[in-house]
A and B are shown apart, each in its own frame.
Chain A
Amino acid sequence: MTSLQLVFLLIAAGTVFAALMVVLSKHLVHAALWLILVLAGIAVLFVLLNAGFLAVVQVAVYIDAIAILIIIVVMLTQRAMGPTKMHVNRNWGVALLTAIVLFAGLLALFNQMPALQSQAPPFALDAEILLDDLGLSLVDTDRYIIPFEVASVLLLAALIGSIMIAWPRGSASEEERET
């Protein structure tokens, strides 16, 4: 085992511990803070796997979003700033089962990938070439353009939906009355 593998395992263990703390922490804001640690740990794992771009995107997208999550937690939950009770309710058994099934499914999927079956590491490529390939594969009709477009349409629908939900009802008539 090389020192790099040791570092990888340590950070992975830390990430898993932080992920457990997200679920077990009694304070909602603390749970959000543990979640930051989980996401940062994943970013470090990306760096160790030579995926610098993904690491940077991970930090830019997720850690910025966590700040919003904390705001929502503080604003929408009662007495989020004070001590709160355990956040484990009676559905924990079902949640655990779902998590285990999901993990097993992912593991089975990854085991079928040909790159994982071979012993030699596949990423002997330059990081720049890999990045170019990632960008091109998102607009290539033979590769991932359909999932990419579906995801963007889904996000657009979510955006419009949230605007519709947040739209004040009867505001148009109020404005007419004012003017």
Chain B
Amino acid sequence: MPFDINDPFVWFGEWFRGLLENLGLAPGAVEFIQTLLGAFVLGTAALVATFFLIWAERKLVARIQDRLGPNRVGPYGIFQTFADALKLVTKELITPTGADIVPYNLAPLLAVMSVVGVWAVIPLAPRLTGSDINVGVLYAVSIGAVGTLGIMLAGMSSNNKYALLGAFRTVAQMLSYAVPMVLALLVPVLLAGSMGMVQITEAQHAYWFIVLTPFAALIFFISSIAEVGRAPFDLLEAESEIVAGFNIEYSGLRFGMFFVAEFLHAFTISALTATLFLGGWQGPGASEYPLLGLLYFFVKTTAVYFVVIWIRGSFPRVRIDQMNSLNWKLFTPIALAALMFTAVAEKMVTEFSLNRMLVHLGSNLLLFAIVLTALRSYARARRREQEGLALRKSNLQTGSSQTQP
């Protein structure tokens, strides 16, 4: 079969199938081997990419903080992570006394599994998706729940108070931020009329969803950063407060798995943001040349990932009460309102056109104005309250001082 530039992935799949069938395997076995190998390649690629993600992140954060970053191993220090990984592998795996053995060993596996599992439904290019299931968005949410579980298990089974405190914080944070994240996720689902990632990407052919609903995109992005537990939401491993959080007792490769899961998770949420709001692989010429689509997808994902690192390098850590009030008092109501506004706007204009874009954008601007007004009046009320308090205090002080001339 000749190589087809318009459909390289399908061509490769067919070629590989032919190869296996020539070996004399049954069709069922061929299907099984193909699926298994596909999952293996996707998972391994995601994990190997993490080596370079860690390097890129260290280098970028170093530049933001006016340092050089890793620059010894290989050109620009690009192999630094490999050296670190080798060191991690050779370290002893310590199990603390009184640890709950089975959950203790299961936790790092669950953490990695929940992150790699998301890649199964992300459409990387036209006709290149791990698994095109019709509830892809819901799947991505539910496999994230397994990650929360892994962290909870780690904190609980380590027999360490700091680990337990870190796990409590993590679960509180992850579960709270899952609410606005899922609500914001429903907006692209509503716009595309499908829960499948492939259909959502294809629905963004004319306009990316970030143009239609910038609000939902922003809320999804910020709350997924919180969901990953990255700075400025890295309360779960606040060194100054709870030493290192849920993974304090883990060493060697087990710690490495948590570490890899965290970095890959940041890249995964960038990929999700790119897929749901930035059009995924959509771009000029992408449907004719799928390889171009793959390039577009990774360019968009990397751009979002850069913003994640930028935020990490720029913002100080938020306090736990700020984290909670931001979520419950601001993000959840806005996400609910954005969902309702989108539903109404979607009913007003049904055809895919410029009008639809303008109506959605208009409804978002209206929402933006409402939120700004509400925030302003809230800030005013707070200021008046504090000014009144300060005034009363100073009145008391001056009143007492005036009595003694």
Residue of B nearest to A36 (CB): B149
Would B148 and A179 count as touching, CB distance under 8 A? no
Would A56 and B152 count as touching, CB distance under 8 A? no
Q: Which segment of A16-24, A66-74, A116-124, A154-162 sits at the interface? A: A66-74
User: Distance in Å from the Cβ of A31 to the closest Cβ of chain B?
Assistant: 13
Would B149 and A74 count as touching, CB distance under 8 A? no
Q: Which of A40-82 contact B (CB under 8 A)?
A: 52-53, 56-57, 59-60, 63-64, 66-68, 70-71, 74, 81
Cα A59 to Cα B145 in complex, Å, equals 8
Cα A81 to Cα B139 in complex, Å, equals 32
Would A64 and B133 count as touching, CB distance under 8 A? no
Does A38 belong to the interface (CB within 8 Å)? no
Residue of B nearest to A60 (CB): B142
Cα A60 to Cα B135 in complex, Å, equals 12
B142 is contacted by which of A36, A57, A67 (Cβ under 8 Å)? A57
Would A68 and B135 count as touching, CB distance under 8 A? no
Would A64 and B134 count as touching, CB distance under 8 A? no
Does A153 belong to the interface (CB within 8 Å)? no
Would B135 and A56 count as touching, CB distance under 8 A? yes
Does A99 belong to the interface (CB within 8 Å)? no
Cα A98 to Cα B292 in complex, Å, equals 62
Chain A contact patch, size range: 20 to 34
Given A53-B135, A70-B152, A127-B134: A179 and B164 within 8 A (CB)? no
User: Distance in Å from the Cβ of A4 to the closest Cβ of chain B?
Assistant: 12
A52 is contacted by which of B134, B148, B164 (Cβ under 8 Å)? B134
Q: Within 8 Å CB of B164, what residues of A?
A: 74
User: Distance in Å from the Cβ of A98 to the closest Cβ of chain B?
Assistant: 30
Would A29 and B139 count as touching, CB distance under 8 A? no
Q: Within 8 Å CB of B134, what residues of A?
A: 52-53, 127-128, 131
Cα A63 to Cα B385 in complex, Å, equals 43
Residue of B nearest to A73 (CB): B156
Would B142 and A63 count as touching, CB distance under 8 A? yes
Main secondary structure of the interface of A (DSSP, over half): helix
Cα A77 to Cα B387 in complex, Å, equals 44
Given A29-B156, A56-B142: A71 and B148 within 8 A (CB)? no
Q: Within 8 Å CB of B153, what residues of A?
A: 33
Does B175 belong to the interface (CB within 8 Å)? yes
Would B149 and A67 count as touching, CB distance under 8 A? yes
Q: Which of B97-153 contact A (CB under 8 A)?
A: 100, 103, 133-135, 138-139, 141-143, 145-146, 148-149, 152-153
Does B389 belong to the interface (CB within 8 Å)? yes
Cα A135 to Cα B120 in complex, Å, equals 25
Residue of A nearest to B137 (CB): A56
Q: Which of A124-164 contact B (CB under 8 A)?
A: 127-128, 131
Does B324 belong to the interface (CB within 8 Å)? no
Does B306 belong to the interface (CB within 8 Å)? no
Does B198 belong to the interface (CB within 8 Å)? no
Does B159 belong to the interface (CB within 8 Å)? yes
Q: Which of B311-333 contact A (CB under 8 A)?
A: none
Would B159 and A60 count as touching, CB distance under 8 A? no
Does B171 belong to the interface (CB within 8 Å)? yes
Given A67-B171, A71-B171: A52 and B133 within 8 A (CB)? yes
Does B11 belong to the interface (CB within 8 Å)? no
Provide 6 A-B residue pairs closer than 8 Å at the C-beta atoms, listed in order of the A residue. A52-B134, A52-B135, A56-B138, A63-B146, A67-B148, A179-B385
B-contacting residues of A (Cβ < 8 Å)? 29-30, 33, 36, 52-53, 56-57, 59-60, 63-64, 66-68, 70-71, 74, 81, 127-128, 131, 179
A sample of 13 more A-B contacts (CB under 8 A), given A60-B145, A64-B148, is A29-B156, A33-B103, A52-B133, A56-B135, A56-B138, A59-B145, A60-B141, A67-B148, A67-B171, A81-B159, A131-B134, A179-B388, A179-B389
